[in-house]
Structure 1
């Protein structure tokens, strides 16, 4: 989102309330189980895009305990979604 209008007037009503977004994302993560981190990333992205003003979102989901039989540190999926 374009943060310039909010920053110019120090006006919370002209931006997204990150606390609310964080609570909604936690609800998605703790909600209905999914098999794929890709699905979780998509659900998180769609939750963020529901907020007026959010034009684009990048979501990175980590799964450090993925069921992989070879040594690894972390598995991640990063997606970018936009209204356009």
Structure 2
């Protein structure tokens, strides 16, 4: 299902302790999150009321809590948890989450490592998410 309307939040940078190595858990590092929500925004546009849309400030705080929270081994798992958090708002029909790990323990010169997941209400296992 395609939606023409989107809310984007890019560059949310949060300190977390994710990774497969002990030093990543002990020392931690910054992760940068990009979100793209797909939903209908016509009601919010008509009412001009924040209650009729996803409050991106509140969503940013929820996502930051996930990143700063319980450590996971893989950024794939972290991206999935963030997607589930975004889909808790029933107005959100789809979400794209990119987790950047620019300080990944790679002994070569690189700019970034990132994982992107795309989830919708019809993604198997996510159909029953409620607010």
Q: TM-score range by the shorter chain?
A: over 0.9
More strand by share: 2
**TM-score, normalization: structure 2?**
0.61
Structure 2 portions without partners, runs of 5+? 1-38, 123-131
Aligned twin of 2:88: 50
Which residue of 50, 71, 74 corresponds with 2:112? 74
State the SS of the aligned residue for 2:80: helix
Count residues with an aligned counterpart: 84
Equivalent of residue 45 in structure 2, options 7, 10, 17: 7
Please state whether the residue corresponding to 2:111 is helix, strand or coil: coil
Deviation of the 1:17 alpha carbon: 1.2
> Which structure dedicates a bigger proportion of its chain to helix?
1
TM-score by length of 1: 0.93
CA distance in 2, matches of 1:13, 1:64: 35
Q: Secondary structure at the match of 2:116?
A: strand
Structure 1 ranges of 4+ moved more than 3 A = none
